[in-house]
Amino acid sequence: WLITGCSSGLGRALAEHALERGDRVAVTARNRASVADLAARYGDRALPLRLDVTDPESVTAAVQACEAVFGRIDVVVNNAGYGYLAAIEEGEDAAVRALFDTNVHGVVTVLKAVLPGMRDRRSGKIVNISSFGGLAAFAATGYYHATKFALEGLSESLAAELAPLGVTVTIAEPGGLRTQWAGASMQQSP
């Protein structure tokens, strides 16, 4: 497995679950130290890697390291992301671009790095973490919803493209979870 955004929340919970099952997981975060405890707990089944989805070089390095250590990547979970509270009129251009860079463009960067190996093996699973917010929208979170609606469309097209190659795509659309999404993982327009 290669899971993005494992420092907390859903990404960390997924990583711990896969590791508890006995699977091998590249646990990634922008700050490698935030996932080092997983390697201490699970040994060589947990590979802590620095991965910032907005930095293509770090994505490439993480994918290469995962493939070098584990031999291949069977499952990719595109989990890294965050929320942004702002009325559409109040959204700050730089903050909105950064949100899209993480929640949409970051997913694309990871996909482009892992798909050649999956295509060559004609197998693999991709799980894109969207949100209930990719199906319905509410006031003050329009930009977040826009990123998740984009991820929905991207994932549906990707599934059609990859089905003949033996690679599956799953869109996870969770609702409210007890994570830091509304805390440390939430930014807000002033």
Structure confidence by residue, pLDDT tens digits, 57-116: 999 999 999 999 999 999 999 999 999 999 999 999 999 999 999 999 999 999 999 999
Supply the DSSP string of 108-155, one letter for each residue: HHHHHHHHHHHHHHT-EEEEEE--GGGT---TTBHHHHHHHHHHHHHH
* Catalytic residue flag (residue 148): yes
Catalytic residue among 130, 131, 143, 155: 130
Residue whose C-alpha is closest to residue 54's, from 101, 94, 8, 99 = 101
Q: Give the predicted TM-score (pTM) of the model.
A: 0.92
Q: Could you say which of 42, 131, 148, 155 is catalytic?
A: 148
8 A C-beta contact, residue 70 and residue 19: no
- Would you state the pLDDT for residue 89? 96
- Give the pLDDT band of residue 183 (cuts 50, 70, 90): low
What's residue 132's pLDDT? 77
Q: pLDDT confidence of 177, banded at 50, 70, 90? A: low
d(CA 130, CA 151): 7
In the predicted structure, residue 149 carries a pLDDT above the cut 60: yes
SS3 39: helix
Report the pLDDT value the prediction gives residue 133, as an integer from 0 to 100. 77
**pLDDT band (50, 70, 90) for residue 146:** very high
| Closest to 2 in 3D by CA, of 120, 111, 161 | 111
Residue 180 — very low, low, confident or very high, per pLDDT cuts 50/70/90? low
Between 81-90, 98-107, 130-139, 150-159, the lowest mean confidence (pLDDT) is in 130-139
Tell whether the model's pLDDT for residue 162 goes beyond 80.
Answer: yes
- Sort strands 124-129 and 167-172 into parallel, antiparallel or unpaired: parallel
pLDDT band at 173 (very low <50, low <70, confident <90, very high): confident
- Beta-carbon contacts of residue 74 (< 8 Å; ≥ 6 apart): 1, 123, 124, 125
Residues 123 and 52: their CA atoms lie apart, in Å, by 25
Identify the bridge partners of residue 27 per DSSP, sorted by sequence position.
Answer: 3, 48
Considering the domain delimited by 2-80+102-134+148-176, tell me its CATH architecture: 3-Layer(aba) Sandwich (3.40)
At residue 176, the pLDDT reads 60
Give the residue carrying structure tokens 């930095």.
55
Q: What is the mean pLDDT of the chain?
A: 93
Cα 73 to Cα 113: distance, rounded to the nearest angstrom? 11
